[in-house]
């Protein structure tokens, strides 16, 4: 019998190898910078993706700061997961966790919303009647889904009668799948809409369309479904090169684009959807209708005079500098996430890149200096095109593609690895971001 006599590792070599492995694990941890001493009062409105991520970063940078974070919701939502819930790929619980579980100690958490901001007197009034003075304010309450703007629609309708609305939250995303799965089995006409306002993740309406088409074709077979995508303007996505790619994919998959069709009313009894188009109103029958309502800043933002006066006047996003996210009239106020009045960027990926910029300018301001970090509109959208495939699309303010892995993960190719990123890696990265570690 042949043996390899040379291959006889000693116990000492073995232990040495283990020790080296352990040492390399510790060696990669970065050294901690000295904390900045301050008595600054910082108020953060909203403990969503942006507020939570920022507060976790601030506590590692500041010593003695008086940080207060407000949020009326006991539940934290992992919103990028809602698309997966609405396609039956994950349970509703996949997107849910407790708000307080993500927050650091040594800060004040107030379980209430903001009712008003007085940017002149520098104070925030809560919905519970408290008034909190601030030296610096970060406005990150998210946005409001204006379901009432669609005539005849109410959230009670979601899940039956062929109506879905995945943006409304985990339970509604799960109900959306009830309606959508029935449609995939029975066949018929499916209409997928998006609002004419700025919106959270403009890729999500496309993902839902692609996923339901894919599942429908696999479930009932080809030819039993007629799919329409109602776009709010003459394109399918804000970035022209991506819009063109989506147009080609739609053609390939038999999904008909209905350009400049904005949903205005639903008749759930007759299963009829009404759209505003450049040529007037038009009605379409549906067996499945996915509703995404217009989206706006919370009322207190507009009422407190923080919004743009000449842009998005019907939506009220906070008037901030595009690069620094600092309020253009009140330099001690910043906005983050969905509520920020910048083009694009209502995604968790945007938040991930916005938070370090606000952190930089906020800390510089505490030190009496000017920050240097710049946000160039980076956002990313793992645009799912099938169960098992996605395009990892990343872009900036200038509609340029900004791939993280050029030459390896092509942005406009439908890849399995991009799907893996969305389905498995994204939530882990998101959670790391919440803890201020990514």
Partner 1 sequence: MEQLTFETMVAVFEEIFGRMLFWGMVAVAVVITVAYFYVLIRDRTMSMRKFLLAQLSMPFGAVAAVIFVMAMTHSDLRDMGGAVDVIVLLGIAAMGAVGAAILVYTAQSLFRGVQEP
Quick one: which segment of 123-131, 308-316, 322-330, 407-415 binds partner 1 (CB under 8 A)?
407-415
Residue 156 binds partner 1 (CB under 8 A): no
Burial class of residue 182, CB neighbours in 10 A (0-12, 13-18, 19+): middle
Residue 228 binds partner 1 (CB under 8 A): no
Q: Which is nearer to partner 1, 280 or 407 (CB)?
A: 407
Q: Which is nearer to partner 1, 284 or 410 (CB)?
A: 410
Pairwise CA distance, residues 302 & 31, whole Å:
43
Which residues 6+ apart lie within 8 Å of 384 measured at CB?
83, 207, 210, 211, 390, 419, 422
Q: Contacting partner 1 (CB under 8 A), which of 85, 165, 415, 434?
A: 415
We find the least distance from the C-beta atom of residue 409 to partner 1, in angstroms, to be 6
Q: Which is nearer to partner 1, 286 or 419 (CB)?
A: 419
Residue 121 binds partner 1 (CB under 8 A): no
Residue 352 binds partner 1 (CB under 8 A): yes
Contact letters for partner 1, residues 10-29 (x by CB under 8 A): xx--x----------x--x-
We find the least distance from the C-beta atom of residue 153 to partner 1, in angstroms, to be 31
Residue 7 binds partner 1 (CB under 8 A): yes
Which residues 6+ apart lie within 8 Å of 43 measured at CB?
67, 68, 69, 70, 124, 132, 134, 136, 137, 138
Which residues 6+ apart lie within 8 Å of 407 measured at CB?
none
Pairwise CA distance, residues 380 & 396, whole Å:
9
Which residues 6+ apart lie within 8 Å of 99 measured at CB?
47, 52, 71, 73, 74, 75, 76, 109
Cβ count near 31 (within 10 Å): 4
DSSP class of residue 428 equals: H
Q: State which of positions 28-47 bind partner 1 (CB under 8 A).
A: 28
CB contact at 8 A, 336 and 325: yes
Q: Which is nearer to partner 1, 5 or 105 (CB)?
A: 5
Q: State which of positions 384-403 bind partner 1 (CB under 8 A).
A: 386-389
Residue 278 binds partner 1 (CB under 8 A): no
DSSP H or E run through 42: strand 41-45
Q: Contacting partner 1 (CB under 8 A), which of 55, 427, 434, 436?
A: 427
Footprint on this chain of partner 1 (rule: CB under 8 A)? 1-5, 7-11, 14, 25, 28, 89, 352-353, 386-389, 404, 408-410, 413-417, 419-420, 423-425, 427-429, 431-432, 437-438
């Amino acid at each position: 019998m042949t043996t390899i006599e040379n291959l006889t590792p000693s116990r000492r070599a073995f232990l040495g190898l283990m020790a080296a492995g352990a040492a390399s694990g510790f060696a990669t941890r970065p050294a901690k910078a000295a904390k900045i001493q301050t008595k600054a009062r910082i108020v953060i409105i909203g403990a969503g993706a942006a507020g939570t991520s920022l507060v976790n970063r601030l506590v590692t940078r500041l010593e003695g700061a008086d940080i207060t974070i407000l949020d009326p919701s006991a539940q934290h939502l992992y919103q990028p997961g809602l698309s997966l819930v609405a396609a039956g790929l994950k349970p509703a619980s996949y997107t849910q966790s407790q708000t307080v579980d993500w927050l650091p100690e040594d800060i004040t958490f107030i379980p209430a919303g903001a009712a008003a901001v007085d940017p002149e007197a520098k104070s925030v009034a809560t919905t519970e009647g408290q008034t909190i003075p601030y030296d610096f304010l970060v406005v990150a309450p998210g946005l409001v889904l204006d379901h009432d703007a669609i005539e005849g629609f109410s959230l009670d309708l979601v899940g039956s009668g062929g109506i879905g609305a995945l943006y409304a939250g985990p339970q509604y995303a799960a109900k959306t799948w009830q309606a959508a799965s029935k449609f995939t089995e029975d066949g018929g006409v499916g209409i997928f809409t998006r609002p004419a306002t700025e919106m959270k993740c403009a890729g999500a309406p496309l993902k839902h369309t692609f996923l339901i088409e894919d599942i429908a074709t696999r479930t009932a077979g080809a030819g039993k479904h007629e799919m329409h995508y109602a776009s709010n303007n003459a394109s399918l996505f804000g970035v022209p090169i991506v819009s063109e790619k989506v147009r080609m994919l739609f053609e390939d998959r038999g999904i008909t684009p209905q350009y400049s069709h904005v949903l205005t009313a639903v008749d759930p009894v007759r299963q009829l959807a009404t759209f505003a188009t450049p040529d007037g109103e038009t009605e379409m029958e549906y067996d499945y209708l996915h509703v995404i309502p217009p989206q706006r800043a919370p009322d207190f933002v507009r009422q407190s005079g923080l919004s743009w006066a000449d842009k998005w006047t019907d939506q009220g996003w906070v008037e901030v500098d595009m690069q620094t996210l600092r309020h253009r009239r009140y330099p001690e106020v910043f906005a983050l996430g969905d509520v920020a009045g910048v083009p694009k960027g209502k995604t968790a990926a945007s938040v991930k890149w916005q938070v370090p910029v606000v952190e930089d300018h906020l800390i510089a301001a505490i030190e009496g200096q000017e920050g240097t970090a710049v946000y160039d509109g980076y956002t990313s959208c793992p645009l799912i095109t099938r169960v098992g495939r996605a395009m990892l699309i990343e872009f900036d303010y200038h509609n340029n593609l900004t791939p993280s892995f050029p030459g390896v993960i092509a942005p406009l190719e439908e890849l399995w690895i991009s799907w893996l990123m969305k389905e498995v890696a994204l939530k882990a990265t998101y959670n790391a971001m919440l803890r201020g570690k990514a």
